[in-house]
């Protein structure tokens, strides 16, 4: 396993983390979660991620039982959760109106409820699961600063915030002498690239912001299981189609007008993986981890052996050379182009990924 600093902190997280969004909606999957956590830990994974939103507490309950069954010393684990949706979105409901968002009330109550479900005394990282337009940033930042002061959390971060929102909250923290968020948790994979590779660039450069990216395999699409266009039995899109994330992924990438292009792309990636001697999922994960702005890539699993395959992707990071990366970009056809003013004059500007790979070669 490779361990990386979480941005500009002294905290080391495994380059591959484990998240439990997949099994969190079903209490009957507790035993599977326990087996997955044990396998992840045996493979060197020390970073585990969940959220109050996952099963509205069920995900945290399962992780709590899994950590107890694992029996590892607490100091060996880096555990994170996310706060925003503490109740289903069925507003208006007087019983739930303060269980959603980033008010001081919900942040404190949400974190304390998460700790009870996880059976922990503290969390290493708590993420703001989304940006809250209704709550002043000063209130949110002060609440997390106080939680750190009370020893209930060690760090805080954001998830799916825009760069401008992160810059704004950092300005608030600087002005009020508060601990700023140290990491962002965005979606990032071969099919979803723009925000991570372009929008966050100055945050990575100026503040060494950490990142714990989710869906590195695009909910299984990049594993090779769907290269023939069908949904095989046991696959995520087949087994978890009731999950809102799986439904969104299917509708986004398997729509009739996109299916043919997607299948060609997937099969071309399979050929690249074959040349490199790895599986298609290992190629997709190695491609993610070749970007040094990635602190940790969070993966999910339905079977322990899937984690074995994912962790082996670390062996192929060095094979993502500039030549291989260029071939992948040509297949994907979605390479972000930062600096539109430069592009307008017909000049070539290397992307952050290209510059990082060049740096790593010398």
CA 149 to chain centre: 26
- Burial classification of residue 38, based on how many CB atoms lie within 10 Å of its CB (0-12 exposed, 13-18 middle, 19 or more buried): middle
Residue with more model confidence, 173 or 224: 173
Average pLDDT over residues 165-170: 98
Pairing of strands 16-19, 210-214: unpaired
CATH number of 3-320: 3.20.20.100
Using only C-alpha atoms, what is the Rg of the chain?
Answer: 20
Q: Are 137 and 91 in contact (CB under 8 A)?
A: no
Nearest CA among 21, 26, 90, 17 for reference residue 47: 17
CA dihedral 287, 292, 295, 298 (to 10 degrees): -10
Indicate the pLDDT class of residue 227, thresholds 50, 70 and 90.
Answer: confident
Residue 343 has pLDDT above 60, yes or no: no
Q: Give the predicted TM-score (pTM) of the model.
A: 0.91
Which H/E stretch holds residue 194? helix 194-194
Q: What is the pLDDT of residue 261?
A: 87
54 catalytic, yes or no?
yes
Strands (DSSP E) contained in 208-322 are 210-214, 296-299
Higher pLDDT, 185 or 23: 185
Q: What digits encode the pLDDT tens for the residues 75-118?
A: 999 999 999 999 886 656 777 889 999 999 999 999 999 999 99
What DSSP line would sit under 90-159, residue for residue? Answer: --S-TTTTTSBS--HHHHHHHHHHHHHHHT-S-EEEEEESS--TTS-HHHHHHHHHHHHHTTSEEEEEES
What string of DSSP letters covers 322-352?
HHHHHHHHHHH-------HHHHHTT-----H
On average, the pLDDT of the chain sits at 90
* Cα–Cα nearest to 17, from 124, 155, 152: 124
Residue 96: per-residue pLDDT: 86
Number of other CB atoms surrounding residue 57 within 10 Å? 20
Q: What residue segments make up the domains of the chain, in order of their start? A: 3-320
249, pLDDT greater than 80: no
Q: Which of 54, 188, 200, 226 is catalytic?
A: 54
Cα 196–199–201 angle (5° rounding)?
A: 80
pLDDT per position as a tens digit, 281-314: 999 999 999 999 999 999 999 899 999 999 999 9
């Amino acid at each position: 396993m490779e361990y990386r600093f979480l941005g500009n902190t002294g905290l080391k997280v495994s380059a591959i983390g484990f998240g439990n969004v997949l099994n969190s909606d079903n209490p009957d999957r507790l035993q599977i979660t326990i087996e997955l956590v044990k396998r992840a830990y045996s493979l060197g994974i020390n970073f585990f991620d969940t959220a109050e939103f996952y099963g509205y507490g069920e995900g945290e309950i399962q992780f709590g039982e899994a950590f107890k069954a694992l029996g590892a010393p607490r100091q060996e684990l880096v555990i994170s959760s996310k706060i925003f949706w503490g109740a289903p979105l069925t507003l208006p409901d007087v019983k739930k109106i303060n269980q959603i968002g980033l008010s001081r009330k919900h942040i404190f109550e949400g974190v304390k409820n998460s700790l009870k479900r996880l059976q922990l005394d503290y969390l290493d990282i708590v993420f703001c699961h989304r940006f809250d337009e209704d709550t002043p940033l000063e209130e949110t930042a002060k609440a997390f600063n106080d939680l750190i002061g009370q020893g209930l959390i060690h760090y805080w971060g954001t998830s799916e915030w825009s760069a401008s929102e992160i810059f704004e909250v950092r300005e608030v923290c600087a002005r009020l002498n508060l601990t700023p968020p140290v990491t962002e948790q965005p979606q990032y994979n071969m099919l979803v690239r723009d925000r991570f590779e372009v929008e966050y660039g100055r945050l990575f450069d100026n503040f060494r912001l950490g990142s714990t990216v989710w869906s590195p395999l695009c909910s299984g699409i990049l594993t090779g299981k769907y290269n023939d266009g069908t949904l095989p039995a046991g696959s995520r899109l087949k087994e978890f189609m009731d999950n809102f994330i799986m439904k969104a992924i299917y509708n986004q990438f398997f729509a009739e007008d996109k299916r043919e292009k997607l299948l060609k792309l997937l099969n071309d990636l399979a050929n690249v993986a074959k040349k490199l001697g790895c599986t298609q999922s290992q190629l997709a994960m190695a491609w993610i981890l070749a970007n040094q702005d990635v602190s940790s890539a969070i993966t999910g699993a339905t079977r322990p052996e899937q984690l074995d395959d994912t962790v082996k992707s670390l062996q192929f990071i060095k094979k993502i050379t500039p030549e291989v990366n260029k071939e992948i970009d040509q297949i994907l056809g979605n390479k972000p182009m930062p600096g539109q003013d430069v592009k307008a004059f017909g000049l070539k500007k290397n992307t952050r990924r290209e510059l990082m790979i060049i740096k790593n070669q010398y």
